[in-house]
Amino acid sequence: MDSDYDIYDMDSEPEPEEEDFFSDEPIINSHNQKDYTILKDTDIHQLIKDDISKTTTILSVKRDVALALLRHYNWNMTKANEEWFANKLEVSKAIGMLLEKEETTSLDSNLVNCGICFEEYTVDKIAFAACKQHPFCKGCWECYISTSINDGPKCLVLRCPNPSCNMMVGESMIVKLASDKDKLKYYDYMFRSYVEENRKIKWCPAPGCEYAVEFEIGSENYDVICDCSNDFCWNCLDEIHRPIDCNTIEKWKNRNFEEAANTKWILAFTKKCPQCNKSIEKNKGCMHMTCVCYYQFCWLCLAKWDSCIGGCNGFEENKEVKEAKKNILRYTHYYERWVSNEKSKQQALKDLNEMRNEGVKKLSELHSLPETELEFIIQAWQQIVECRRVLKWSYAYGFYLPEEDKVKTQFFEYLQGEAGADLERLHHCAEQELLDHLGSTKKLDYTEQGSYKNYERFRSKLIGLTKVTGNYFEKLVTALENGLKDVNSKEYKRKREIPMSNITVDDSSMWACDRCSFLNADYYTVCQMCVVD
C-alpha cells in the first residue's frame, strides 16, 4: 500500500477505473451489472476525505470532531449524522469532545507546569487535548503521541494523558506534533480502519492483493471478481460458489476435514489404464485421457471415452457393501470429482493467463493475424474457468441432495451430466484442437482457401461452444438455486434429445441446432458446437 498522510491535505484525485474489456461477452457470472466497486489505494484515500468533508459541512463541526464521529460509528456517515442530531450531548461525551458549557483552564502566568515532567514552560511551549484543562509540554506530547502510534491502531482514539480525563486528542494535534514517520503510521492505521471497520468494504482475500471492494448493501448477488483476477464470495470470503450457499460451503469443508483420513487410501494422483494397466498421471485440464496404448477413457470413471464424454456424474449404489463403507464411497465419489474439477480449473486458469500474457501475441505474429481476431480464444478459456468452478461446486450440491428424493436426484444428475459433457467438448477444443489449428510452428497461408476455411471452422466451433456452454451452465445454476422446483425433467430431456435439423428463421441463410438452439450463418450442414470429433 502506498501509505500517505495527504488525507489531511484533501488534494489528490482518484485514478479512473479500467474498463472491463470483455464485459459484453456471454460469459456466465460476468457481472455486467456489478453490485460492487474495486477500490485502489487512491480511491480509499479519496473516500475518507469525502466522508470527513461531508460530515464537517452537514454538522457544522471541526474536522477533528467529524473524524472522531466517523471513527466512533465505524465510518457509517448516515448513522453518525443521525445520532448527532438525535442526542448531541451523549454523542459528544462518547467521542471525547469538549462541550461549550465546560470550563477551560485560564493561563494567567507566563510559566506553566507540565503535568508529565513537572517542569515549568512558557505558554508557547504548552499544548492541550480537547479538554483545554491539562497542560503538557510539547516534548512530552511528542513522546506520548509517538509511543501511542507505535503501540498500534488505538492511537486513532487517543485521549488526554491525564488518567482522569477522557477528552480526545484530535488529528490536528497529531499532524502538528508527530514526526513524518509517525504520521505515515497514523494514516496507515486510519486507512486500514476505513476498510476493516466499514460494513460496506472488505479487503480482497487473495494473498498479496491490496485491492478493497465496496459492496452495495442489500444486493442478493455476493459474487465478486477482483481486479487481481481473484473471485470470492462477499459474504463468506471463500471463492465464488454458485450454485450452493455459504452454509453448505461450511458443511462441505468440515466434512472434507473429517473425512480426510478415510479418503486418503482411496484417492491417488495416478490411475491405471483400463486396457494396458499402466499408471497414468493427469497433466491436462479436461477428463479425456489417451494412454500410450492409444486407449481413450474418462479420468473419473475409467470408462471408454466414447461412452462417457463427461457424463459419469451419477453415483451408483452397490447394494452389497455395508452401510458405513457405502457412505465413505458415496462421499469419495463426490469428493474426487470436486477435487478433479478444482485441479482442472487451476490448470485452465494457468492456460488462460499464459494465453492472455503471451500466447495470443505469439499466435498473432506466427500466423499474421491481428490480436483482436484471436480474442475468441481468451473468451473460451475464461468460460472454461468459470464452468469448471460451477461444476466443482455442483458436486457439493449433489452430495447434500436428499438420497430419498430419487426424482430430484436423477434430474440433477442429468442436468449436471449434460453440463459436464458440454464443458468437456469446449475444454478439449480449446486445449487440444487449438494446437491442431493454430499451434503449428509452420506459418499458415490464409490466402489459400483451404487454410482459411479450416481456421474459420475452428473459430466458429470454439465461439459456438463457448456460448452454448455458458448459456447451459447459467441455466444449470439457475435451476439449482431454485431448488430444482420449477422444471419438468422428462419434458426437458425429450427436448434435448431431438435430432439436429435445420429450421426456418427470419434470415433464410441461417439455421439453428435443435440441441443448443445456436443460430449459425455459416455453410456447415451440422452444428459445429455440438458435434464430437
How are beta strands 511-512 and 519-520 bridged, if at all? antiparallel
pLDDT for the residue numbered 323: 64
Check pLDDT > 80 for residue 281: no
Q: What angle do CA 487, 493, 497 make, to 5 degrees?
A: 150
Q: What is the DSSP secondary structure assignment for residue 164, as one 8-state letter?
A: T
Percent of the chain with pLDDT over 90: 28
The rounded Cα 374 to chain-centroid distance in angstroms is 26
| C-alpha to C-alpha distance for 48 and 46, rounded to whole angstroms | 5
19 or 496: whose pLDDT is higher?
496
pLDDT digits (tens, 9 = 90+) for 214-237: 988 777 788 888 888 788 998 898
Phi, psi of 37 (to 5 degrees): -130, 130
Residue 437 has a pLDDT of: 61
Return the minimum-mean-pLDDT range out of 173-177, 214-218, 281-285, 397-401: 281-285
| Residue 46 pLDDT exceeds 90 | yes
H or E element that contains 143: helix 138-151
- The whole-number pLDDT of residue 494 equals 40
277: left (phi over 0), alpha (psi -120 to 50) or beta: left
**Beta-carbon-side half-sphere exposure of residue 264 (alpha carbons within 13 Å):** 5
Q: What is the pLDDT of residue 184?
A: 93
According to the model, what pLDDT value does residue 469 have?
Answer: 92
Please determine, for residue 505, whether its predicted confidence score (pLDDT) is greater than 60: no
pLDDT of residue 456: 79
List the single range of 116-120, 124-128, 448-452 with lowest mean pLDDT: 448-452
DSSP 463: H
Contacts 24+ apart (CB under 8 A), 413-416: 413/313, 413/314, 413/315, 414/489, 414/493, 415/476, 415/479, 415/480, 416/313, 416/391, 416/476
Please determine, for residue 526, whether its predicted confidence score (pLDDT) is greater than 60.
Answer: no
Q: Please tell me the distance from the alpha carbon of residue 445 to that of residue 458, in angstroms, as a whole number.
A: 16
Which pLDDT band, with edges at 50, 70 and 90, does 522 fall under? Answer: very low
- Identity of the highest mean pLDDT range in 109-118, 435-444, 484-493: 109-118
Please indicate whether residue 505 or residue 89 has the higher confidence score (pLDDT).
Answer: 89
End-to-end, the C-alpha distance of the chain in Å comes to 51
- The pLDDT of 80-109, averaged and rounded, is 76
The pLDDT of residue 76 is above 90: yes
Which of the pair, 383 or 497, is modelled with greater confidence?
383
CA distance 366 to 267: 42
Per-residue pLDDT, 256: 83
Residue 270 bridge partners (DSSP): 281
25 pLDDT higher than 80:
no
Quote the pLDDT of residue 191.
94
Contact indicator for 509, 521 with CB cutoff of 8 Å: yes
Residue 500 has pLDDT above 50, yes or no: no
Question: How many CB atoms neighbour CB 293 within 10 A?
Answer: 10
Chain centre to alpha carbon of residue 514: 35
Q: Give, in degrees to the nearest 5, the angle at Cα 242 between 239 and 245.
A: 85
466 pLDDT more than 90: yes
Average pLDDT over every residue of 403-417? 86
Asked if 348 contacts 388 with a C-beta cutoff of 8 angstroms, the reply is: yes
Query: What is the CATH code for 254-488?
Result: 1.20.120.1750
C-alpha cell at 122: 512558557
Selecting among 286, 301, 308, 527, the annotated active-site residue is: 286
Over residues 282-288, the mean pLDDT reads: 81
Question: Residue 218 in contact with residue 199, Cβ under 8 Å?
Answer: no
Based on the residue annotation, tell me whether 286 is a catalytic residue of this protein: yes
- The string of pLDDT tens digits covering residues 242-276 is 888 899 998 998 888 777 655 554 555 567 788 88
Q: What is the pLDDT of residue 267?
A: 53
pLDDT of res. 399:
92
Q: What is the model's pLDDT at position 381?
A: 92
- pLDDT, mean over the chain: 78
- The CATH code of the domain at 111-194 is 3.30.40.10
Q: Between these two residues, 158 and 524, which has the higher pLDDT value?
A: 158
Which pLDDT value is given to residue 410? 86
Q: Are 381 and 348 in contact (CB under 8 A)?
A: yes
> Which of 436, 1, 443 shows the shortest CA–CA distance to 212?
1
E strand or H helix at 350: helix 323-354
